[in-house]
Copies of this chain bind each other. A is one copy, B any other.
Amino acid sequence: MVKIPKSHPRRNSLLSRNAIVDATKKGLLADSALIAHGRGEAFDYLLGEQTSEIAKLSIKESAARLINANNPVISINGNTAVLAGKSLIRVAAVLGCPIEINIYYRTEERINNLHDFLEAERMVVSKEIGPSNWLGDWEKSVLAVKILGKEEDGRIIGLEGPRAICSADGIEKADVVLVPLEDGDRCEVLISLGKEVLVVDLNPLSRTAKMATVTIVDEVSRMADILLEYIVENSSEVTEWDNKLALKESLKIISRNAN
A residues apposed to B, CB below 8 Å:
17, 20-21, 24-25, 31-32, 34-43, 45-46, 203-205, 251-252, 254-256, 258-259
Distance (whole angstroms) from the CB of A25 to the closest CB of chain B: 8
* A46 neighbours in B (Cβ, 8 Å): 46, 205, 254, 258
Chain A contact surface mostly: helix
Distance (whole angstroms) from the CB of A9 to the closest CB of chain B: 12
Chain B's closest residue to A248 (CB) is: B259
**Is A17 a contact of B32 with CB atoms below 8 Å?**
yes
Total identical chains: 2
Partner of A34, one of B31, B204, B251, B259: B31
Distance (whole angstroms) from the CB of A46 to the closest CB of chain B: 8
Of all A-B residue pairs in the complex, the 3 with the closest CB atoms, nearest first, are A38-B38, A42-B42, A34-B34
Chain B's closest residue to A251 (CB) is: B258
Partner of A35, one of B37, B45, B256, B258: B37
- Can you report 30 A-B residue pairs in the complex whose CB atoms are below 8 A from each other? A17-B32, A17-B35, A21-B35, A24-B31, A31-B34, A34-B34, A34-B38, A35-B35, A35-B37, A35-B38, A35-B41, A38-B38, A38-B42, A39-B42, A39-B45, A40-B42, A41-B42, A42-B43, A42-B203, A45-B203, A45-B205, A46-B258, A204-B258, A251-B259, A252-B258, A254-B254, A254-B255, A254-B258, A255-B256, A255-B259
